[in-house]
Structures are given as structure tokens and as C-alpha cells.
Amino acid sequence: MKSYVMGIDFGSTTAKTVILDLKGKVVVSCVAHMGAVSGEGVKASTEGALKQAGLTQADIGRTVSTGYGRRMLDIADKNFTEITCHARGAVTMVPEARLVIDIGGQDSKVISVDANGLVAQFAMNDRCAAGTGKFLEVLARAMEIRLEDMGDVALAAKEKLKISSMCATFAETEVISLLAEGQTKPDVLGAVHAAIASRTIGLVGRVGKKGPVVMTGGVAKNPAAVHYIQEALGMPLILPGDPQTAGALGAALIALDDYRSEHKAELAAMEEDGIEAQMAEDKACVPGCRGNPTAAPKKGLLGALGF
């Protein structure tokens, strides 16, 4: 039996990998930026994660993929949609969350979840990129500003301007027009983020507003997007430490469920061994210790988990 499972979120612009041990503890997570649904990018992410954890693919018992490219991964045993995986991952990161707002590179989604991280209802953006990371990317280019700087600049907005939330192409034209009118960059960027917020609130309306709300996805790292969505929602957003990896974490957890249920008997035996080992540990420094604890043979669950 193997000791680790892996979840891969093969997204439209980034690839995220999470490796868990059999207790569900995150061993490593890795985010790789890439071109659109890039095989190289996802390879960089999985290889990076394995390298950081000091593992090889052979150490992984089960791999589940999610995201746009989920069906393109040969190393995945199963694939699940980003809806299911983001819900599971987000509720694990923030157990009290009942609504997940995820804004990624190419799509935005709002998912209503139950206490087990199961999806109750969901809504996604249509094929239009308005209200997604792509929307910000297009407008960053139009305004000659780095994507990662947009949020901070937008927070300095003083005037409340309005731009269309319907279409990235229309919005770009409107942005150019506002700049030509002499509006400041922070004010225009404030309007851009407010447009994303109004689009997001439309999706929230489709599944029903409830809280607590967790925000995941790359756009959760943008402080202005968070600010404007909170303002439009009238509720605080809970931000997990690593919002981009929620989908990969959810995929890894589903892999863990499957793997544990497939190896129930072995795990139960190991749990017993673990208890025996723990009992032995209570009496001696390390089970099987013959004066050199670090060289003692590793046994049972603790050994299997690398302790």
C-alpha cells in the first residue's frame, strides 16, 4: 500500500498540485503558472510537488484530477469537476463555510455547500470571460499595469466610476474611453473591480445568498476584488491561506476517500499496529529500539506515514 495521494487542478492558466498523507495532512502544495491548459505547466506543478516532498510518482497511491484539463492527465486515476473539488477543498480549508466564491483564470463559480463539503447548488459564468481572471488580465494589458499591482492601485480609488460588467471587450473600450476623459488609473481600476463584484453577485443570486462565505481561486489574492465583492455582498469573505489550491486539495481529498475505502482492511490493521506501537512507545523510547532510536525499524501506521 502507498502512503500518499495526489490532487491536481489542471486549470486554464495555472496548475496546482496537492499531496496528502493517508491521515489527510497536506504534505506539499505547488502552483505553476502556464499558458492555456498547458501540458508543460501541469508537469511542472506535479513534478515540483513531488520534488518538494521528496517523493516520486511511484509513492502516490491515488491521483484525482480536476480543472479544465482534468481529462488530459494520464497519471490521474479519476477526474472530478472543479465544482465538486473546489467545494470539498474550500470547506476543508474553512469548515464553517456554506458558500464558496471561486474566481479563477477562465471561470467564476459560486457553490453552495453542506457541512460535508458536498455541493448543494452551483452557478458558473457563461462562456463570457467577464468577471474572471481573464477579464483582469485583458484590462491590465489595456491599462499598462502589472496584474499583481492592479488590486493595490484600485484600492486607492477616490471616485466611483462605472464600467460594463457584461463583456471584457466592451469593458476594454470603456476603460480606454475613461482614461481618454482624464480619469485616474486608480478610479478606473476601482470601476473594473466593481464590475467583477457585480458579476459575482449575479452568480450568488442564482444559488442563493448565505454565509459564511469563503473566497478561493487566484483572484482571491487580489485585495481590491475581495474589497469590492465584500462591499457588494454586504458580508465578509473568509480567505484561506492558500486560496488557489482549494480545487487541488478537494481532488486530493476525494483521492484519499477512494484510497482509504479501497484499503479499509489494511488501514484498520495498521491502525491496530499503530495503537500497539503507541502502547510500546509509552513503555520504551521507540518500538524495536536497541539503543539507537533513529535506526529503529519503522513499524505500523506511524512507520507507514513516515514518522
Residues near another protein, by CB under 8 A:
23-26, 29, 68, 80-84, 88, 91-93, 95, 107, 115-122, 124, 126-127, 241, 249, 253, 256-257, 260-261
Least distance to another protein, CB of residue 212, Å: 14
| Cis preceding linkage at 212, omega within 30 | yes
Cβ proximity to another protein, 87 vs 138, nearer residue: 87
Cβ proximity to another protein, 1 vs 156, nearer residue: 1
Q: E strands, 146-264, where?
A: 213-216, 237-238
Cβ proximity to another protein, 84 vs 143, nearer residue: 84
Q: Which grid coordinates are listed for 86?
A: 473546489
Amino acid at 54: G
Tell me the C-alpha to C-alpha distance, in Å, between residue 274 and each of 31, 108, 262, 267, 279: 34, 44, 19, 10, 8
Least distance to another protein, CB of residue 174, Å: 20
Least distance to another protein, CB of residue 157, Å: 32
Cβ proximity to another protein, 22 vs 229, nearer residue: 22
Amino acid at 116: N
Least distance to another protein, CB of residue 87, Å: 9
Cβ proximity to another protein, 52 vs 184, nearer residue: 52
Tell me the C-alpha to C-alpha distance, in Å, between residue 262 and each of 1, 19, 63: 10, 18, 14
Least distance to another protein, CB of residue 29, Å: 8
Using DSSP, state whether 113 is helix, strand or coil.
strand
Least distance to another protein, CB of residue 108, Å: 12
HSE of 169 in the Cβ direction (CA atoms, 13 Å)? Answer: 1
| Calpha distance 76→54 (Å, rounded) | 20
Cβ proximity to another protein, 93 vs 157, nearer residue: 93
Q: Which grid coordinates are listed for 65?
A: 484530477
Least distance to another protein, CB of residue 192, Å: 24
Helix (H) or strand (E) holding 111: strand 108-113
Cβ proximity to another protein, 126 vs 144, nearer residue: 126
Do 133 and 151 meet the contact criterion of CB atoms below 8 Å apart? no
Q: Which grid coordinates are listed for 240?
A: 484561506
